[in-house]
Structures are given as C-alpha cells and as structure tokens.
Amino acid sequence: MHQMTTAEATVAALIAHGIDAVYALPGTHSDHLFDALYKQKDQLPTIHTRHEQGAAYMALGAALATAKPQVYAVVPGPGLLNTGAALLTAYGMNAPVLALIGQIPHADIGRGVGHLHEIRDQSGILARLTDFSARVANPGEAARLVAEAFQAMRAGRPGPAALECAIDVWGQRGDVGAIAPLRPPESSIDEDAVVAAARCLGASRRPLIVCGGGAQDASEEVTLLSEMLQAPVLGYRRGRGVLDSRNPLSVTLPLGRLLWGEADVALGVGTRLQMPQQAWGLDDDLAIIRIDADPQQAARFREPAVALIGDAKPILRRLLDLLPAHNRLRESRKEEMLERQARMRTQLAKLAPQIALLEAMRAELPEDGIYVDEVTQLGFAARLTWPVYKPRTFLSPGYQDNLGWGFATALGAQHARRDVPVLAISGDGGFLYTANELATAMHHRIPLVTVVFSDGAFGNVRRIQEERYGNRLIACDLTNPDFVRYAESFGAAAERAGSPEQLRAALRRAFANRAQPTVIEVPVGPMPSPWEFIHMPAVRN
C-alpha cells in the first residue's frame, strides 16, 4: 500500500499500462491531475492543444496509427462536449481512446446547483458515448478503474472508455494498492465453427473476402488466405491496406461490388458489411461467413452461415491450418483480376483531376508513410484509387465521415509515429475545423505535412445543390484566408502548388523537413462527382 492522491494513482496506472503521452487541455477541475502529470513529465509527457477537440482527435490519431490505447484529459461540461465528435468517431472506429474527464465537487453531483462547467448527467452522457465509463470516487479505486477501462477498451469489440473524477476527489490522499494491468480475458476459438468455415470456403467457387478496420492487425493472415482461396479482398475506408494494393487480388469499390454480385461465399473480417449487405443485396446463393469481435454485429443484417466471434488474427490462423484439407484445386485469378482492374481504372479515369493530384502525393509519400483522409473531393477519390501498401497507413474516418477530423487526427498520428512521415489532406472547409492546432504542431514540434485543396466551397455540398437542386446554392461558398500566410504566421513552412507537378516538388521539400510542420495549399476548381462509384445499386436480390 502507498499513500497517494487519486490523481497520482491514476497517472501511475496510465504509466503501468504503457501510456507514453497524454493529450490534454487543463482547467481548474483537473489541476490536481495536471500536477500529478507534472511530477511524471519525463515518463509521461503532456501534449496540450488549443481546443479540446484537438486533444481528443490527437489521441484518436495516435491510437489508429499505433494500434495501442491512448489517453486524453479535459475539463467537464464544455470541455467534454468539445471532444464529442472525436469521441463519437473513436466509437465508430472501435478505437481505444480513454477520456479522463473532470467533474464538479463530489457532494454536489446531480444537484443542479450551477457549479462551474456543471452539466446535467455527465455520467449518463459518457455512458452513451462509450461502452465503459465510471466515476472514480476515491484514491483506492483509481488504479482498478483505470485497469478496468483498459481491459474494456480491448475486450470484445474495442472502443473508447471514459473515467470522470470530481474536482475534490482528484486531490484526495489515501491508501492505494496494486497498480497493474488486468490479465486480458481468456478467449477461445469455436473449433466446430472454424471447421464449418473451412469446409464452406474450401468448397466455394467464387469466394470474396471483405475487410474492415478489425482486419488491420491480421494483414499477414488475410494475405495467406486470399492466396490459398484465390479470393479477391475488398477494402473500402477502414479495410484499405490489409491486402497490399499491388496484389492483383486487392480491390476497392466499385470492382468489389461486381465481385459481391458473383460470389458464392463472402467472408467478412472485422467489418460491419453494411454497404454490401444493405446496398448491394443478399440472396440465397450467397453464404456469408463472419469473423467479428462482436456477436451482435455478426448477425445484424442476416444470420450468417458461420459466425466466428473473437479477434481476427488467431481465428484466421486456425482457419489457415484447417483450410488445406478442404480446399479445392484453384487456378490463379491473377490475369483475370489484372484485366478487370485495368478496365475499372478506365472507368474511374472520369475522376482524372482528383487522380492526378493523388498520384502526385502517393509518388512522394514513402511506402510506410501514413495517409490521413478527409471528407473532401480528394478523399472520396482516394478511398477508391489510393494505393495502400501496409496496414494502418490509410486512416479514414469510417461511417461517421466526420468532416474536420483529419488535421488534428493526423497530428496525433505524427506525434505517436515520429518514425514515418504522415500526410494529412483536407478541403478548405475541413481544414479550418482544427487549423488552430498548427500552434500545437509548432509548440510540440510535430512535423506533419498537410495539403489543403481550396476550391472556395464546401465543394461536395455545392455540386449536389447544382446537380440535384436546380443550382439553388446555399451555405456552400467559402471566404478563405490566405492559407500560406496563415500557416506562416504560426511559423510553419508553407507554399502554394498550382499543379500536380508543383505539388510533387513541394511535398518532396516538405517530407525532407522534419523540423517543422508544412502546409501546402493547392487551389482547385470544381471536380467530377465520385458518387456513381460509391452509391451503387444492388447486384443481388
């Protein structure tokens, strides 16, 4: 037993769980916590931002880039709500982000007295936003609750967790027992189900593998399985990079949809399988096998032929052991897939302006460099055409498609992964959501490279108004700052690039500069619509 404050015990528990940074914005409700962080600042640096959303997005980006849990700390009420979109996105992306949130004095919680930053039912709000949340009520339970939060972030379907603590409780001193992680829960593999999956896949004539974010740490296994089955692997936003894009069996939309239409067995790995099942259709000629950490998810649209519940990697390992005994002889689909990919590229060439800029960026971002996506014309096209060579190098916001997430998320990715370059792309609309965090990039010397495509509009919204609403344009034109001068005013490196060639040259300079963040503005015009390649009609029914 040690005598410690709640805050000291919490910080010691974070360190015991391997946390090496806390993304944070202080305030009076967390003064004791920040004092405890001060005392451990060599082991556990605090990275402060200029807005709470920046702290939460940075934790999210760090979690996505490292596959490890990350932590942010903010004041209650407005501080918490300022992190709301990031916490929601972390939930949607199953990202292990721990939110440490302040609270008003313990004795007044729930009384509606009007304390600074008081918010009605904060614990109820946290419980809606996460699958695990708790209030730390004394120093003795801090370490245990931190350990439970970390366990919950990894058990079953991963995701964020939240701990709140009252302003007076952070500073309370008391006896603190063991500060250590809990053992991960035992997981077992349903052997009968794996045999059934091996039989079904082994007998299939046209298998398809669909990957989501839950497959990111099973790249090797998916690659081997795809080879064994000669099965194409579809990844769209979160599943990109599980199978290297240079592999002819690696597909995105819209080729994936055609393959869905032809498949007799589809294996979903760590994916909601929402678009294929809801938009592309289901029929009795398609057997679905699911590998998912969440049993409810696996059966959401239709009871699958086989459900394998648990972590994808060990389940796929077992499947790879069993499959050879059941697998039919298969001819290589390499030539067929190369030919179909080439044909699809001709169709996608409709997106030529986006593709030329994306190719320029891909040519300069090293193979293991991390691309962080945004809800922009370039982003929509990147999801279809950007070649991804390694898992966790294509960070896209999943079904929240949360405009403005990108820059601060990329900042977190670059902070946590100093060893590789990180490239954030953004429209002029999305960038200004968190562009203030350029100050954070300067202060903490984070050499993120950002490309801002400025068309003076919420271009996506504008095109929809033009094409579908008789050109009645509303709330879509933007008055921009001079992005180069704006970035320079923070001390960042900045330049303007007027063509794909100029963008390449600017990026080469930017990636060579590890001392500073860089912003490159690329003025662009209206771009062709990507929707025919994304919102596609059913191919089965």
Question: With contacts defined by CB under 5 A, how many residues of the chain interact with Mg ion?
Answer: 6
Distance (Å, whole) CA 152 – CA 146: 10
| Min separation Cβ 458 and ligand TPP, Å | 3
Distance (Å, whole) CA 354 – CA 427: 12
Distance (Å, whole) CA 244 – CA 252: 11
| Min separation Cβ 379 and ligand TPP, Å | 8
Residue among 52, 374, 428, 437 that touches Mg ion (CB under 5 A)? 428
459 binds Mg ion (CB under 5 A): yes
Task: Write the CA distances from 42 to 197, 202, 299, integer angstroms.
Answer: 50, 54, 47
Question: With contacts defined by CB under 6 A, how many residues of the chain interact with ligand TPP?
Answer: 18
Tell me which of Mg ion, ligand TPP, none is bound by residue 461, counting a contact when its beta carbon lies within the kind-specific cut-off of 5 to 8 angstroms.
ligand TPP
- What are the phi and psi torsion angles at 135 (to 5°)? -110, 130
Between 297 and 402, whose beta carbon lies closer to ligand TPP? Answer: 402
Stretch that binds Mg ion, among 9-17, 39-47, 365-373, 451-459 (CB under 5 A): 451-459
Stretch that binds ligand TPP, among 63-71, 286-294, 453-461, 465-473 (CB under 6 A): 453-461
Residue among 34, 407, 458, 483 that touches ligand TPP (CB under 6 A)? 458
430 binds Mg ion (CB under 5 A): no
Amino acid at 192: D
459 binds ligand TPP (CB under 6 A): yes
96 binds ligand TPP (CB under 6 A): no
460 binds ligand TPP (CB under 6 A): yes
Between 175 and 532, whose beta carbon lies closer to ligand TPP? Answer: 532
521 binds ligand TPP (CB under 6 A): no
Stretch that binds Mg ion, among 49-57, 223-231, 256-264, 447-455 (CB under 5 A): 447-455
Distance (Å, whole) CA 384 – CA 463: 19
Distance (Å, whole) CA 219 – CA 241: 8
| Min separation Cβ 374 and Mg ion, Å | 10
| Min separation Cβ 457 and ligand TPP, Å | 5
397 binds ligand TPP (CB under 6 A): no
Stretch that binds ligand TPP, among 50-58, 143-151, 169-177, 400-408 (CB under 6 A): 400-408
428 binds ligand TPP (CB under 6 A): yes
Distance (Å, whole) CA 276 – CA 252: 12
CA 17 to chain centre: 21
Residue 457 pairs in a beta bridge with 477
| Min separation Cβ 480 and ligand TPP, Å | 9
Q: Is 171 left (phi over 0), alpha (psi -120 to 50) or beta?
A: alpha
Residue among 455, 510, 521, 530 that touches ligand TPP (CB under 6 A)? 455
Between 242 and 375, whose beta carbon lies closer to Mg ion? Answer: 375
Residue among 27, 455, 503, 517 that touches Mg ion (CB under 5 A)? 455
Q: Which residue is nearest to ligand TPP (CB)?
A: 427
164 binds Mg ion (CB under 5 A): no
Between 413 and 457, whose beta carbon lies closer to ligand TPP? Answer: 457
Stretch that binds ligand TPP, among 94-102, 217-225, 349-357, 370-378 (CB under 6 A): 370-378
429 binds ligand TPP (CB under 6 A): yes
Tell me the CA end-to-end span of the chain in Å, nearest whole number: 64
CA atoms within 13 A on the CB side of 231: 31
Contact 277, 211 (CB under 8 A): no
**And the tokens for 208?**
């398809």
Contact 428, 453 (CB under 8 A): yes
| Min separation Cβ 428 and ligand TPP, Å | 5
Distance (Å, whole) CA 344 – CA 341: 5
Contacts of 373 (CB under 8 A, 6+ apart): 237, 379, 382, 383, 394, 395, 396, 397, 406, 425
Tell me which of Mg ion, ligand TPP, none is bound by residue 190, counting a contact when its beta carbon lies within the kind-specific cut-off of 5 to 8 angstroms.
none
- Which H, E and C letters describe 89-139, residue by residue? HHHHCCCCEEEEEEECCHHHCCCCCCCCCCCCCHHHHHHHHCCEEEEECCH
53 binds ligand TPP (CB under 6 A): no
**And the tokens for 230?**
């000669």
Name the site residues for Mg ion (rule: CB under 5 A): 427-429, 455, 457, 459
Name the site residues for ligand TPP (rule: CB under 6 A): 375-377, 401-404, 427-430, 453, 455, 457-461
